[in-house]
Amino acid sequence: MHNSFMIFRIILYYTCADMYSIGIIFFELYCPFSTQSERFTVIKNMKESKSRNKVDSYIGAVWNQQIDLINSLLSDDPNDRPNCQKVLSYPLFLSKEQKRIKELEEKVQELERKLEKFNKK
């Protein structure tokens, strides 16, 4: 059930298929099902969906970071799926210190852009 539809189409097995499977597992963690039948139906419908936002209607708005990650992992185009390094850089997996560093780096970049615009005037 956790295998990417790519595998069933007898296409070469790539790590992006693993990332798809991880997306399904993450989805199940944040969207518990009351029955196996419900689980099967929802995941089947998600796999068949061509929407870029496959999980939005199933997971509440509280899980925004998780929704973004899961949607990217479940992308129909394997080339659009993040690799392991990219997944681990999501704020969801960062320590408090790493999050603070990332926030400060973003702030520095924003200030550099503003300074560059100011210097062009």
- 56-67 pLDDT, tens digit per residue, is 666 666 677 788
Which option is the CATH number for 5-89: 1.10.3720.10, 1.10.510.10, 3.40.50.150, 3.40.1160.10?
A: 1.10.510.10
When mean pLDDT is compared across 40-44, 60-64, 73-77, 88-92, the lowest value belongs to 60-64
What value does the mean pLDDT take over residues 14-29?
A: 82
Residue 6: both structure tokens together: 């790519």
Encoded amino acid at 54, one letter: K
Chain centroid, CA 108 distance in Å: 26
User: 62-101 as b/e, with b when 16 or more CB fall inside 10 Å?
Assistant: ebeebbbbbbbbbbeeeeebbeeeebeeeeeeeeeeeeee
Residue bearing the bigger pLDDT, 93 or 13: 93
Which residues make Cβ contacts (< 8 Å) with residue 28, sequence separation at least 6? Answer: 39, 43
**What is the residue-averaged pLDDT of the chain?**
80
Residue 34 CB-half CA count within 13 A: 0
Give pLDDT, residue 104: 94
pLDDT for position 30:
81
- Give the global pTM: 0.62
pLDDT band at 90 (very low <50, low <70, confident <90, very high): confident
Considering the chain, what percentage of its residues have pLDDT values greater than 70?
Answer: 78
Tokens describing residue 69? 């990650």
Helix or strand run (H / E) with residue 115: helix 96-120
- For residue 119, give the DSSP letter: H
pLDDT for res 9: 53
